[in-house]
Structure 1
């Protein structure tokens, strides 16, 4: 009856955000802009999953607590989304080679996965996971 459809993100600028998510295999499939230019929407697709990017002419910054994982997790609301990698070591090396980040610390999670976080151009946290639990 139901299946996952999309995640919506408000971003500061579309160009850098689209380029960032293209690194992870997402491709732009839809664009729309309001007549007054106040709002632009882009849908990026990877497989059956959509990322819906909103870009407002006058964005409102996220609260300071959302800038770090340790202060964001206790706050009620959506935290981040995860992208799966078959080999997290290769994924981390690839992102560092592209200059996306200088250093990545891969964490052995309490739930049995390996993961790390990167921030997109708007500072939104994206988790990259290697999950071999076969859940």
Structure 2
């Protein structure tokens, strides 16, 4: 097997319009495609993150809540690489998005922090 990279991360939103606004207007991700799938009563929004990676944002009728904290088994969080962590934190704060205090990775010496999307999915900003 030869894995070349990550193609996409899929996220299911409880409120599609609210999450679409968050990922496009607050985080600034570009829309690649958006389609309504009638047979599933579901929206699918493809977003460009960078480096060819995408986020697929889905809506489904009445999705069950995600067990997130304390540390539940499964996907833990999505981490976004940023060039200027302080500017990214200020951008989120200016838009009313709470951000945890910046920490330093004890193994890499890189700075990082966490925040959450509208469904409380943990998201990380990691200084490049």
Same fold (TM over 0.5): yes
2:61 paired residue among 57, 60, 66? 57
Aligned residues of 1:92 and 1:104 also touching (Cα < 8 A) = no
Partners of 2:100 and 2:74 in 1: how far apart? Answer: 26
Post-superposition CA distance 1:76-98 (Å, at most 9, x none): 32111111111211211221112
Structure (1 or 2) with the greater strand fraction:
2
Match of 1:97 in 2: 94
Post-superposition CA distance 1:67-114 (Å, at most 9, x none): x3xx22xx332111111111211211221112122x541111223221
Matched position secondary structure for 1:4: coil
Task: List alignment gaps of at least 5 residues for structure 2.
Answer: none
Matched, 1:40 2:60: no
How much does 1:37 deviate?
5.4
Give the TM-score taking structure 1 as reference length: 0.80
Superposition CA RMSD, Å: 1.8
Post-superposition CA distance 1:3-51 (Å, at most 9, x none): 3210001111222212212233311221222225522211111331110
Partners of 1:34 and 1:98 in 2: how far apart? Answer: 31
Partners of 2:37 and 2:82 in 1: how far apart? Answer: 36
1:3-22 maps to which residues of 2 (within 5 A)? Answer: 3-22=5-24
Match of 1:31 in 2: 34
1:107 paired residue among 87, 91, 103? 103
1:62-81 maps to which residues of 2 (within 5 A)? Answer: 62-63=66-67, 66=68, 68=69, 71-72=70-71, 75-81=72-78
